[in-house]
Structure 1
Amino acid sequence: MRSLVLYTALALGANAAAAADLEALKQGDMRKLVVYEAPLDLPDVPFLDAGGAEQRLSDHKGKVLLVNFWAVWCAPCRAEMPSLDRLQAEMGGEDFEVIAIATGRNPPPKVARFLEEVGVTNLPLYTDAQQKLARTMGIAGLPVSVLIDREGREAARLIGEAAWDAPEAKAVIEALLAE
């Protein structure tokens, strides 16, 4: 029993320390980042890839994820998407991935055309047409970006557009990777 109490205290302290580390990095666009002291569990709700196959965020457990919810009609999304693409090109791999999900009425051909128009070449096409994942995660406006830790929990959220390839954004992601 004593070891369980000690383990719980250490785990809670580690979460608070990790949150404090991210808080200290909030500069530039990252000032809008909401960091959770205790990361939130994620719903296991599917979204679709370009071929129509179901994907789940839990399929990527073990990686740090930047999940971005966007739509083809969203002007801030159009401005933000190239920075997400550059971030994926630079940092994407075995430990980190950008997952950009077109949510709502965004037919795959329009999504593909949008990505081509803004010059996105490093992000796969994902959709959440019925907004099941977006609603379950409390996404009310667009764009919204969610940082997910290696344990598959929401560590932080940013509402609105951000330059995700800026040094301050990369510093936040690198801090999550270091945990």
Structure 2
Amino acid sequence: MLRSLVLYTALALGANAAAAADLSALKTGEMNKLVVYEAPLPVPDLAFEDGMGGTTSLAAYRGQVVLVNFWATWCAPCRAEMPSLDRLQAQLGGNGFEVVTVATGRNPPPKIDRFFEEAGVARLPKFRDPKQQLARAMGVVGLPVTVLIDKNGQEVARLIGEAEWDSPDAKALIAALIAE
């Protein structure tokens, strides 16, 4: 498992963003710290809790562009960016695009409910990765981490840290991915 994490992280850090011209040209403002990969990376097909007693996986979103946000209830930057993710889902969700929020680690459902209520979040899913299996497999080592997945179910970009996901820069980048 550690080997996979090291390999995944090395791929992410070594990616040549300049070669991915379509998205690199859109790395402005809030999206300037986005890492765009030269070649898409595979996404593990691991189950996570769907908030209704069942499980799902990222494979369920194949055919759509997906913004996966790894977060936790105790994470201050996560709290700061979550409303912008909610607004992004309200503005672009459902048209070949979804925001998928995954609380990783110890985040009991009542705390997630309270977090969403306090942050004014109404449109995002309350998915959980309590054993951090998905987060570890995807090389998530800090929070928040946001991963952009293309329609083929492959990771094309990643942003570590908080961002205003409903900014014009972010929406332009996501619109370009949806149009591909």
TM (norm. structure 2) is 0.89
C-alpha separation between the residues in 1 aligned to 2:142 and 2:18?
30
C-alpha separation between the residues in 1 aligned to 2:95 and 2:129?
24
Alignment match, 1:109 = 110
Alignment match, 2:119 = 118
C-alpha separation between the residues in 2 aligned to 1:93 and 1:83?
17
Residue correspondence of structure 1 range 110-149 to structure 2 within 5 A: 110-149=111-150
Deviations 1:53-78 (A, max 9, x none): 11100011000000000000000000
Task: Using the TM superposition, give the Cα deviation of residue 19 of structure 1 relative to its aligned residue in structure 2, in angstroms.
Answer: 1.9
Task: Using the TM superposition, give the Cα deviation of residue 106 of structure 1 relative to its aligned residue in structure 2, in angstroms.
Answer: 0.3
Shift of the 18–59 alpha-carbon distance from structure 1 to 2, 3 Å rule, reads: farther
Deviations 1:110-131 (A, max 9, x none): 0111001100000011000000
C-alpha separation between the residues in 1 aligned to 2:109 and 2:31?
30
Q: RMSD across aligned C-alpha pairs, in angstroms?
A: 1.3
Unaligned runs of 5+ in 1: 1-15
Alignment match, 2:8 = none
- 2:93 corresponds to 1:92: yes
Alignment match, 2:11 = none
C-alpha separation between the residues in 2 aligned to 1:66 and 1:138?
16
The secondary structure found in structure 2 opposite 1:134 is helix
C-alpha separation between the residues in 1 aligned to 2:171 and 2:52?
30
Unaligned runs of 5+ in 2: 1-16
C-alpha separation between the residues in 2 aligned to 1:146 and 1:116?
24
Shift of the 78–91 alpha-carbon distance from structure 1 to 2, 3 Å rule, reads: same
Contact 2:65 2:97 in 1 (8 A): yes
- 2:59 corresponds to 1:65: no
Alignment match, 1:81 = 82
Alignment match, 2:35 = 34
Contact 2:59 2:153 in 1 (8 A): yes
The secondary structure found in structure 2 opposite 1:102 is strand
Shift of the 17–160 alpha-carbon distance from structure 1 to 2, 3 Å rule, reads: closer
Alignment match, 2:156 = 155
- 2:171 corresponds to 1:165: no
Shift of the 18–164 alpha-carbon distance from structure 1 to 2, 3 Å rule, reads: farther
Which has more radius of gyration?
1
TM (norm. structure 1) is 0.89
C-alpha separation between the residues in 2 aligned to 1:162 and 1:88?
15
Alignment match, 1:3 = none
Q: Which amino acid counterpart does residue 74 of structure 2 have in structure 1?
A: W
The secondary structure found in structure 1 opposite 2:143 is coil
C-alpha separation between the residues in 1 aligned to 2:156 and 2:54?
27
Alignment match, 1:176 = 177
